Amino acid sequence: MSFEALDLGLVVAAHGRHVVVETPDGERVLCHPRGKKSELVVGDRVRWLPAGDEGVVEHLEARRNLLFRQDEWRTKSFAANLDAVLVLVAGEPMFSESQLTRALIAAGQAGIPCWIGLNKTDLPAAADARARLEPYRRMGVEVVELALKAAPEASRAALAPRLDGRTTLVLGPSGMGKSTLINLLVPQAAAQVGEISQALKAGRHTTTTTSWYWLDEARRGALIDSPGFQEFGLRQIAPTELATLMPDFAAALGECRFHNCSHRHEPGCGVRAALARGEIAPSRYRIYEELFDELSAKRW
């Protein structure tokens, strides 16, 4: 069979072995993949065949990228074919710098540009959050300040040019304001969720489902909302690769005396010299040590 002859569709929701495929004219169809397992994720482009009022996915088109996390027990894919990742953080509750770093590293390994949205800048804790983000600004990560509830129009104006014409995955733990962001930018979000729930034949949409939202009628830009996470494993990354995926560390790698330097105890380490000069923040070095130990632990 020539897959090119089949209808092309976009996966806009995935739940178990069911996926919702959107056709080029905007129709959404419940589809099932061939075989017992499905590795399809939101953002995938697929070729499919109608089967009654549903469909069968016959072929997965090549992905440009895939963002995922991996712990000892399983791999969790977020989405595919992304133009950018927005990590949403806030000072109340205070974000985890370790979780932020892990998301940035995973995006970097996948080759996906990443930026940070600092929400709730109208609250007193914003000053502490800004200070915690200063090392990320210095190493070239864009930080956009937002007050999604207190200043919605200013926040919309700050976000619009960065989201226009792009497919952006919104990442972040619960409590950072992802739902507020979606509702602000996608007034028809409830209707889109309803369509997906109906297509999945689900009684209600839950936050455990990754969702695709179009930002404009022309369907040029899209947001992908993912469930909040408390853990972000990076078992897919070798400990020796870790420093290359941390820009402030990578800038000092050429100064190390030994090519296989772990940046923990070796003499002549360029990374530790950069730390001593204040070019790497102590909090970043602590996170590096935590991750290096985690990734070096014996894998069963």
Residue 245, phi then psi, degrees to nearest 5: -100, 5
Taking the C-alpha atoms of residue 139 and residue 135, their distance in angstroms, rounded to an integer, is 6
- pLDDT-derived band at 197 (thresholds 50, 70, 90) equals low
CB atoms within 10 A of CB 124: 9
Taking the C-alpha atoms of residue 47 and residue 175, their distance in angstroms, rounded to an integer, is 37
pLDDT at 208: 59
pLDDT at 96 over 50: yes
Residues 21-68: pLDDT tens digits?
A: 999 999 999 999 987 777 999 999 999 999 999 999 999 999 999 999
User: Is 180 one of the annotated binding-site residues?
Assistant: yes
Taking the C-alpha atoms of residue 215 and residue 238, their distance in angstroms, rounded to an integer, is 37
Which domains, ranges and CATH numbers included, belong to the chain?
3-60 (2.40.50.140), 66-225 (3.40.50.300), 239-296 (1.10.40.50)
User: Is 240 one of the annotated binding-site residues?
Assistant: no
Extract the tokens encoding 54: 């549903």
119 and 150 in contact (C-beta within 8 Å)?
no
User: Is 59 one of the annotated binding-site residues?
Assistant: no
User: Is 114 one of the annotated binding-site residues?
Assistant: no
Residues 143-166: pLDDT tens digits?
A: 999 999 999 999 999 999 999 999
Taking the C-alpha atoms of residue 147 and residue 97, their distance in angstroms, rounded to an integer, is 20
CA 7 vs CA 30, 45, 56, 97: distances in Å: 14, 10, 11, 44
Taking the C-alpha atoms of residue 13 and residue 122, their distance in angstroms, rounded to an integer, is 34
pLDDT at 154: 98
- The predicted model gives 171-190 an average pLDDT of 88
CA 292 vs CA 179, 248, 264, 289, 296: distances in Å: 33, 16, 9, 5, 6
pLDDT at 300: 47
Q: What is the dihedral of CA 179, 160, 148, 118, to 10 degrees?
A: 90
User: Is 175 one of the annotated binding-site residues?
Assistant: yes
In the block, tokens 């941390």 appear at: 246
User: Is 31 one of the annotated binding-site residues?
Assistant: no
pLDDT at 5: 77
User: Is 120 one of the annotated binding-site residues?
Assistant: yes
Taking the C-alpha atoms of residue 141 and residue 103, their distance in angstroms, rounded to an integer, is 12
To the nearest whole percent, how much of the chain has pLDDT over 70?
Answer: 92
pLDDT at 243 over 70: yes
- pLDDT-derived band at 206 (thresholds 50, 70, 90) equals very low
User: Is 256 one of the annotated binding-site residues?
Assistant: yes
Residues 6+ away with beta carbon under 8 Å from 142: 115, 116
- The predicted model gives 112-117 an average pLDDT of 98
Residues 6+ away with beta carbon under 8 Å from 78: 41, 67, 68, 69, 169, 171, 210, 224, 226
Question: Considering the chain, what is the average pLDDT of its residues?
Answer: 91
To the nearest whole percent, how much of the chain has pLDDT over 90?
Answer: 79
pLDDT at 203: 44
Residue 76, phi then psi, degrees to nearest 5: -120, 115
User: Is 122 one of the annotated binding-site residues?
Assistant: yes
Residues 266-282: pLDDT tens digits?
A: 999 999 999 999 999 99
